[in-house]
């Protein structure tokens, strides 16, 4: 049986990566490693967190039709490598894509059966606390990221593609909810 494609989107600071990792462990899914032209942070590793590419390399992937979807976000390209994802799906493995809204729209068009989920921050104060907790940005940057996160949620609502909205109030709760959503979709018990 084909694996399921699971899309997780959410604004910066909502804890997407942590939720995605936990979810992958719980349901035995593969997390797709994206290509990007943004600079790696000191903690990130090529081939583990992203494939860090030059714009030329990325544009060649676009030209060669190697990307399942891609988008430009905050001045950088981000995209999903089609072959790897398709191989996993064909082998019956579920694949999680942690991607932003424009990319999720593309996925929805190509894979109408994908499970498309948006992760929401519990409230504004908590979002600011999480953005501040990263401790790498000054106040103006945090404010900008906060405004940006709010705008992203609005954009996601307008996109009309997210079937499930999960509030990340607590890691285990959020993961539990998503596990139930995936189970429901996979057993066909998914009234729209």
What are the residues binding ligand 5GP (CB under 6 A)? Answer: 34, 38, 69-71, 73, 78-80, 98-100, 102-103
CB of 34 to ligand 5GP, least distance (A): 3
CB of 153 to ligand 5GP, least distance (A): 12
Can you state the angle between helices 171-186 and 16-27, rounded to 10 degrees?
50
Cβ contacts of 133 within 8 Å, gap of 6 or more = none
Q: Which neighbouring-strand residues pair with 78?
A: 36, 71
């Amino acid at each position: 049986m084909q694996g399921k494609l699971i899309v997780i989107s959410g604004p910066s600071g909502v804890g997407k990566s942590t939720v995605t990792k936990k979810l992958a462990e719980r349901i035995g899914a593969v997390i797709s490693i994206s290509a990007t032209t943004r600079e790696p942070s000191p903690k990130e590793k090529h081939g583990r967190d992203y494939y860090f590419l030059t714009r030329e390399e990325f544009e060649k992937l676009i030209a060669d039709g190697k990307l399942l979807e891609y988008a430009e976000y905050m001045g950088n390209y981000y995209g999903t490598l089609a072959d790897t994802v398709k191989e996993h799906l064909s082998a019956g493995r579920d694949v999680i894509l942690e991607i932003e809204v424009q990319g999720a729209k593309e996925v929805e068009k190509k894979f109408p059966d994908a499970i498309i989920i948006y992760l929401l921050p519990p409230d504004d104060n908590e979002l600011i606390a999480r953005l501040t907790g990263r401790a790498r940005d000054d106040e103006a940057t945090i404010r900008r990221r906060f405004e940006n996160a709010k705008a992203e949620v609005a954009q996601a609502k307008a996109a009309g593609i997210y079937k499930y909205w999960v509030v990340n109030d607590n890691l285990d709760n959020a993961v539990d909810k998503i596990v139930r959503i995936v189970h429901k979709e996979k057993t066909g018990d998914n009234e729209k």
